[in-house]
Structure formats: structure tokens, C-alpha cells
Chains A and B, each alone.
Chain A
Amino acid sequence: MFLSKKGVTSLPICPSGSVGCQVSLGNLFDRAVKLSHYIHSLSSEMFNEFDERYAQGRGFITKAINGCHTSSLTTPEDKEQAQQIHHEDLLNLVLGVLRSWNDPLLHLVSEVQSIKEAPDTILWKAVEIEEQNKRLLEGMEKIVGQVHPGEIENEVYSRWSGLPSLQMADEDSRLFAFYSLLHCLRRDSHKIDNYLKLLKCRLIHDSNC
């Protein structure tokens, strides 16, 4: 894809002394954006399927007004905020969100099977999302290593404590827990996808995608 070096002026692609610098930043971003877009697509589809199948008429949406477990991470909420934040911070936030979802996704895969008559598509998508999320995390860590090498990041992430809710005996409550989780997953995947595209245009294409 685009291997423009316009964004190099702001930061080195391969900083000197970096041994493992093989893939260009632009290439990394391309891959990252593809992955994030893929994850978001899967999440949207899975949520829609779940919503159609289990959440109709239950009024879950009104209840889901409560935030997700990643709300503690102060991520930009609109475009101005996203433009003002520094790309390194933004990258760190992306990493934090991705890390925060490692655990929930893992449990989602295991717990969604317990849903009564869960369609295979939901199961498959859950597995796929969990796997791709790991890959995206690895890619982002590489990107961060290139953009801001050397620094050991405080791994910022939000802990998830929603497992008991997924295992509740009450089916209605359990379904609502799944609904909330999937709803949050869709939102956060979209957020990550947006941030990465923003960073890509800013860093690689010099804000001229």
C-alpha cells in the first residue's frame, strides 16, 4: 500500500540502533488498520446477530447506557480531542484498550457457548475476534516500538470484572450481560479502528489521505 515517506519527517521509520526494524511503519499501519477494520466488522455483525436473536423486546438498549469497563480510559470523544492528543499517547491508549479486551474476549469465547442455542456464526466470530485482537495487539506493540522506542510503557489497561455476570444463572441477566459486552466490544473496536486510521493519515500520509 502506501509507503509514503512523508510522515518520516516527524518520526524515524526505523530509528537507528533498532535491530528488529524490518517492516516499515507505513506497512505496519496498513496491516493494523486492516486488522482493526476486520475486528470491527466482526463485532458489528456479531452484535447484530445477537441483538436480533436474543435482545428483541427486552429493552436492553436503555439499560446499556451504562458504560463499558474501558470507560476509565480517557480516550478522545470527538475529532477535536483526537486531533489534539499526541500520537504517542493515542497509541498508548490504543494499546491499553486492546489489552483490556484480552481477558473479556477469552471468556466470551468460552461463555458464549453456554448460551442456549447459540448460532455457530456467533461462536465462530467470537473465536475469530479473540484471535485477531491478539495479532493487532502485537502489531501495535511493534508500531509503538518504532514510534516511541525504548520506553517501557506502563501497561495501562482496564480490568474486566464482568465474568460473574456472564455466568449468572438467570438467563435474562446473562443475556443482558452478553448484550452489554458485545455492545461495548463493537464500540471499542470502532474506536480503535478510527484512532488507527487517524494516526495513519497523520503519521504516514501527513494528514492527506
Chain B
Amino acid sequence: MIAEPSGMDLRQLLLILALVCANDSLSTSEVILGRPQIITCRSPEQETFSCHWTDRDFHNLTTPGTVQLLYMRRNDEEWKECPDYVTAGENSCYFNTSYTSIWITYCVKLIKKDEVLDEKCFSVDEIVQPDPPVGLNWTLLNTSLTGIHADIQVRWDPPPSADVQKGWITLEYELQYKDVNETKWRELEPMLTTVVPLYSLKLGRDYEIRVRSRQRASEKFGEFSEALYVSLSSISSVLCNEEIEFPWLLVIVFGTFGLIVVMFLILFSKHRRLKMLILPPVPAPKIKGIDPDLLKKGKLDEVNSILASHDSYKPQLYNDDSWVEFIELDIDDPDEKTDGLDTDRLLGDDHCKSHNCLGVKDDDSGRASCCEPDIPETDFSASDTCDGTSDIDQSKKINEKEEDLLCLDQKDNDESHASSADPTIQKPNTNIQSEDNQSKPPFADSIESTSPPVRTQISNQSSVANIDFYAQVSDVTPAGSVVLSPGQTNKTRRTQCDAYTEPAIQCQPNFTMDNAYFCEADVKKCIAATPHDAVEPHVQEQSFNEDVYFTTESLTTTAENPGAAAVEASSSEMPVPDYTSIHIVHSPQGLVLNATALPVPDKEFMISCGYVSTDQLNKIMP
């Protein structure tokens, strides 16, 4: 019998062990899985309430046990079990109106097999969380004039469960809205009304609106309603888009139009000036009153008439520039070099070399004087021209020196003048210089020296100044021809020099002679004296050279100008007569110079200036 009690004890022992193990297992399982908790108790309308709890318990591992919710009201003495586990869903307990008392403290606890999982005390009026509002809709109030913004009115209804009409519950609402592309909701202040306007929504965009409610003076809101989709993009007007976009096209069109208008205005207002800038006029040889075309065409009669008509023209027409002004130092101008070849050759490199004069490209007649080493040439360019070419400005200053030049020339002339070639050299040069102001003693062109020795003499005598190139009108025949003689160089020149008082040279643009052995320089001066002085003298010179040529040619074409023909012949032969005699006088229109046909070795001399001083002619001529 002893075995039975031991067996009994043994079973109890085993049972106890089993229970212990079960307890241990149960506790461990709970530790692993977590304890279910009562999450929320909520009353949507202050008439009923429900409690929900989470249950993380996995049924597999734990002993099957039901979770119970017990509740107790303030006045009750014992706990009661949840009346409804179903209505509110899983893991919930629903208390209907009969079980619900407001302003009474409830305590609920969740137990599982006598084990309290969670406990909570509250009163129903504290847990009111209304349902979301229903029936959200919106209407368009108005749109802005710009078509960018719009106002809408949103309207909703209170949750049907809440008895607002009887005033059992008073709700306040919170509206939130946002652009569909945004992430953050905008909130409005809680309001008691169910209608609210939304201002300044942008047309062309879509918005979302949602509303939630809470019992007034509570803190917890209910759930949000479904989002209301407000589509304003369909209302956007075309105007809106146009206004937003910058009217680039209009700006471009009108800008271009305005520019065109401005350009036309400028063109028309500054017509001449623009023309001057873009197409600077090629200075035509300007003999005042003479149409270059006439010369070109060889209308000698007309030229003569014009020239004669200007006989009475006084030097006032001329600049104050003396002849020296037209002595140009043209060193840098290649054209000058090319065109002035004759005078260059005339005065020449030889001369320059011999006299250590700087090569002057300009073939002005003033070379001789220019090449005077004693002549102060401060006004000249650095590469002073032996040949006496100078700018107009320089020529102006040269005016002052002209006297000296002349005188010096005379000196030099006296000094160096030895050869018989001198007179030859001197003679053909018509003394264009007038007593008034022929500031250009040396006309680069000596028609005479055709022979190299003459040339050399001329070049040699270039320092003597241009006086050698002067041909003085010694006599005027009754027939009307002017006899030019070379001459009393010193004397005449001195007279000239003495007579030279006026600083200003006025180039008489009118050449009264038909045969115009004009020194290039002279003509240049004359040209320069014209209003076109502003034009580069080089250009003038060139053109003048042309004129010279033209003149001679044109002159030769006339039958009345046998002298000219002779001249031309001589010119074509390249002889430079020492002097010319006036063959015919077409008073007051012109003089015909009859060039004596002397052998002219070089062509250059022909080109060189056997000039007739128009002033002299004017004096001579009636």
C-alpha cells in the first residue's frame, strides 16, 4: 500500500511539474509574442461607444484562450462582460445606447484567463470622436478678372450618426485642402458652419479637399472625410495662358519694326553724312566753275569761257593758303609715289641723294625750295621731302617760309645756278606764282628739263628752289599772246620774293590758259584752294595730274590751239619746252600757250610743271 501513496504523490509531483512547465511555457510565449492591449475606446455620437484592442497573440503557440473585456460602471460593484463582441468588428466590444451612460465613469479591462492585460477608465463624454462629414461638394463663386484665380465654396453635411439637429452634440469642422501636386495640406481654422469659401485658388490647377470634425471643446478629431477633387483646370481660360506667357513674339515684331523706323529716320536725316562716310567722294579735280566733264570731253571752248569768266575772280576765292601750302610732303602715300613719279624723277632721287634730301614722293613744284637744307622744316613730316611736298597744314606754315624759300632759292639759284640749263630749266616753268601770293615757288614740274643733265640740273637746283621752274611772263604781245620767258631768275624771284608779302596763297582755280603746263603742285594748290581742300591733297594731286594730262590733251584737240597741239606733241614726245609763249589769247577766256618745241629728254619734265601762273595771267590779261 505504500506504493499507492507514492504513486499518488508521484502523479501530483508530475502534475505540478507539468503545470509549472506549462506556466513557464505560457509566460515565455507571451513574452515572445507581446501582450494585447486596449488601444482605443471611442464614441462617435455620444450615444454609443466601442473599444478595440490589438491582439498579437498567435493562436498556434499559446493555449487557446479568449480575451475578455470586462467593464464596470461607477456605481456597479462587479465587473461585467462586454455585451457585444461582434458589432464593432474583431477584437472589439460594442456598447449600445442602453449600455452607454454619459458623464459616468467606465472602467474596462481586458483579461485573458483571469489575467489582466489592460485596464482603462474613462467617461463617454471624454472619448467622443465623430464620424467624418459626408456630402462634400463645391461650387464656383467667381473668377478674377485676370483669369488667374477663382473662389469656390465648399459645402458638406455633418456625419449622419451625430445628432446635431437636436443639439445633443455640437461639432466643429476642420477643412484641409491642397494642390494635387503638393504634399502639404493647408488647414483652415475650426469652424462651426458646414459651408466655407476658399479664396484665390488658381485656375488651371486641381485641388483636393477633406474635412474632419470633432466635438466642440474636445481635442480629438474624428477621421477625415473622403477627399473632394476640385478640378479648376477645365475652367481656365485662354486669356490666362496668354497672360502668363510673355509675349515674345509681339516684342520681337514691334522691336524690329521700331528699329527699322529708327534706321530709316537716321538714313533720311543723315543722308548726306552717311553717304560721306560710306562713300567718300573721290575728289574730282575742281576747278571752280569748270565741270570736269567738260575737260574730259574736251570741250575746250566751254572751258575757256569758264576760265575767262573767272578772270575777274579775285584771290578772295582762294584760301589764305599760299602756294606753299600745296607743297605736300607725301612720303607715306604709295599712290603718291606712283603718281608723283614724274616729279619724283624730276626732282628726284638723284637730287635727294645728292643733296641729302629726304626723298619726297610728292611731285609738287615746291620741291626745290623744299629741298633747301637750310630751310627749316619743322613743319614737315619726319621724312622731309626733298621735293617739297607738304601737307596743307605744313604748306601753311610753309607760307611763312616761302619767302625764305624764295629768297633762299634765289640765293641758291644764284649760287648753284651756273649751267646754261638753268634758264632752260627755269624758263618753261610758267610762273604761276603771282605777286599776290604764289607761295609755291618750286613747281615740281619743270617741263623744260627733258635732258638728263637738265634734269640733274633741275634736281641740283631744286635746292635753289623752284624758282628755276618759274617762267615769267615777260611780255604780252598785242596779238594777245603771252610770252613767257625764263628768266631773270634771281631778279624776278627776288621781286617775287619781295613782292611776296601776302602769306596766304590763293590759288586761282581758273586757269586762263588753254595750254596748261601746270605744275602739279600748282594745280594741286588750286585744287586745294577750292572748297575741296579738305580732301587729301594727294588725291587732289593725283586728280590734278590727271587734269594736267587731260588739260593738255583736251587742249590739243582743239584746232584753235595749235600751241596746245604743239604742247601736246611736245608732251607726247616728252619734250618740255623751256618756256611757252602765249599763242593765242582768247580773252577773257583763256590763253593759248605755244610751247616751243625743245627737246625734252624726259617725259617727266613734260609732266613737270611748266606752269603758268594764273594770277600772272590775270594780271596780264585784261
Contacts and interface: CB of A to CB of B under 8 A. Distances in A.
Interface of A: 37, 40-41, 44, 61-62, 64-67, 75, 77-80, 82-83, 187, 190-191, 193-194, 197-202, 205, 207-209
A41 B165 contact: no
Contact of B168 (A44, A82, A187): A82
The 4 closest A-B CB pairs, nearest first, are A201-B167, A197-B167, A77-B101, A198-B167
A144 B36 CA distance: 52
Given A67-B74, A209-B166, A78 B217 contact: no
B125 A80 contact: no
Nearest to A201: B167
B46 to A, nearest CB: 7
Contacts, number: 71
27 contacts: A37-B216, A37-B217, A40-B217, A41-B217, A62-B121, A64-B105, A65-B74, A65-B107, A65-B121, A66-B74, A77-B101, A77-B103, A78-B97, A78-B102, A79-B47, A80-B97, A82-B168, A187-B125, A190-B217, A191-B103, A194-B102, A194-B168, A197-B168, A197-B170, A198-B167, A202-B166, A209-B164
Given A77-B104, A79-B47, 8 more contacts: A67-B74, A78-B97, A79-B97, A79-B163, A83-B166, A200-B167, A202-B166, A207-B166
B165 A208 contact: yes
Interface of B: 46-47, 74-75, 97, 100-105, 107, 121, 123, 125, 163-168, 170, 216-217
B165 A78 contact: no
Contacts of A197: 167-168, 170
A52 to B, nearest CB: 13
Contacts of A207: 165-167
B104 to A, nearest CB: 6
A92 to B, nearest CB: 18
A190 B107 contact: no
Contact of A209 (B102, B105, B167): B167
Contacts of A187: 103, 123, 125
B105 A65 contact: yes
Contacts of B121: 61-62, 65
B524 to A, nearest CB: 111
Contacts of B164: 209
A77 to B, nearest CB: 4
A82 B168 CA distance: 9
A78 to B, nearest CB: 6
B191 to A, nearest CB: 15
Contacts of A200: 167
B216 A78 contact: no
A33 B164 CA distance: 15
B47 A78 contact: yes
B160 to A, nearest CB: 15
B168 A198 contact: yes
Contacts of B217: 37, 40-41, 44, 190, 193
B454 to A, nearest CB: 130
Nearest to A208: B165
